[in-house]
Amino acid sequence: MTRQGSAPTYTASHAAGGKARPSSTWTDWGQWLALITMTVDHLTRYVAPDSWGLGWAGSSIGRIAFPLFAAMVAWHGLFNTRNPLRYARRILMIGLVAQLPYMMMPRSSDGLILNICFTLSLSLAGGTWLKRLPARIANDALSNARLAVEAAVALGAWLIAGQWVEYSHLGLLMIPLYMLAMQYLHLASPEFTERLRATGMALPVLLVAGMMNSSDMAKSFTVATCLAVLLLASGAHRLVHGVPFRMPRRLWLAWYPGHFAGIALLLWLTGELASGSS
């Protein structure tokens, strides 16, 4: 969730297709939209009384936040940073700070769940490993055996971590699939066969996005968000103008743990925290 500055061009983009790094202007808009929709989701879920009938907001507006966060992390990890794993560690640090207030939210089910930053961080680490995998495949049997062991460990980590993180196993797949789709869409030439192949590479992330929710409304908003990002990767990023007011970096970094702390304080002051957690 950390914001990248004017980082160097992702070198694989040049090596694979000679294309310049795509414009990231849209992520300035995405930051505002992601924080607003996430906050609306959490306020309607944890603060607003059921009698207000605002459950629809979480099933519509609130379903924009996660696929948008995942898209921005995948975009920066693919195009805007030399060290995606260091980027993943920074996201993990935000998650560690946010975990305590996150655990104070009223929940209908028991058990430890790690917040969305853990999902994004682990998902980016997995996407980075997959992105580098083709270049590491060699004729050496020992090297390939080592890669097979790494793949088995990665699969096991995905199976285990998916039981503990928010959005579960499907959430952990979002960034790797985003990165795959974004790279193919960005590098594809106007030739029909290449555009068709790039479109095929975009289908898995849309399929996973549709499987992440149960209601038709939630599915529609999640898939539509993913589709909009994929259109940006295919070239629409050039059409996006700068946001009038860029989000301050400190606000971007502090909002996720801070808004949970604010909600927890509000629920404690109103006496809802103890009753909702019991």
| DSSP code for 157 | H
Mean pLDDT of 125-147: 88
Task: Classify residue 16: in a domain, yes or no.
Answer: no
Task: Classify residue 244: in a domain, yes or no.
Answer: yes
DSSP per-residue letters across 105-144: S--SS-S--B-HHHHHHHHHHHHHHHHHHHHH--S-HHHH
More confident of the two residues 136 and 14: 136
By residue count, the chain amounts to 278
Q: Does the pLDDT value for residue 124 go beyond 90?
A: yes
Quick count: other Cβ atoms within 10 Å of Cβ 211?
13
**How many domains are there within the chain?**
1
pLDDT of residue 16: 39
Tokens of 232: 């940006």
Task: Classify residue 47: in a domain, yes or no.
Answer: yes
Give tens-digit pLDDT for 163-207.
999 999 999 999 999 999 999 999 998 899 999 999 999 999 999
Give tens-digit pLDDT for 62-114.
999 999 999 999 999 999 999 999 999 999 999 999 999 999 998 756 678 99
Task: Classify residue 17: in a domain, yes or no.
Answer: no
Largest Cα separation within the chain, whole Å, is: 65
Comparing CA positions, the residue from 10, 45, 66, 5 lying closest to residue 233 is 10
Give Cα 58 to chain centroid, integer Å: 18
Task: Classify residue 172: in a domain, yes or no.
Answer: yes
Please name the residues in contact with 74: beta carbons below 8 A apart, sequence gap of 6 or more.
124, 127, 174, 175, 178, 179, 182
Tokens of 260: 């949970």
Q: Does the pLDDT value for residue 3 go beyond 60?
A: no
Residue 93: give the domain boundaries: 23-277
Task: Classify residue 74: in a domain, yes or no.
Answer: yes
pLDDT of residue 230: 97
Task: Classify residue 14: in a domain, yes or no.
Answer: no
CA distance 87 to 157: 19
% of the chain beyond a pLDDT of 90:
73
126-129: Cβ within 8 A, 24+ apart: 126/154, 126/157, 126/158, 126/172, 126/175, 126/176, 127/74, 127/77, 127/78, 127/84, 127/175, 127/176, 127/178, 127/179, 127/180, 128/77, 128/84, 128/85, 128/88, 129/154
More confident of the two residues 72 and 50: 72
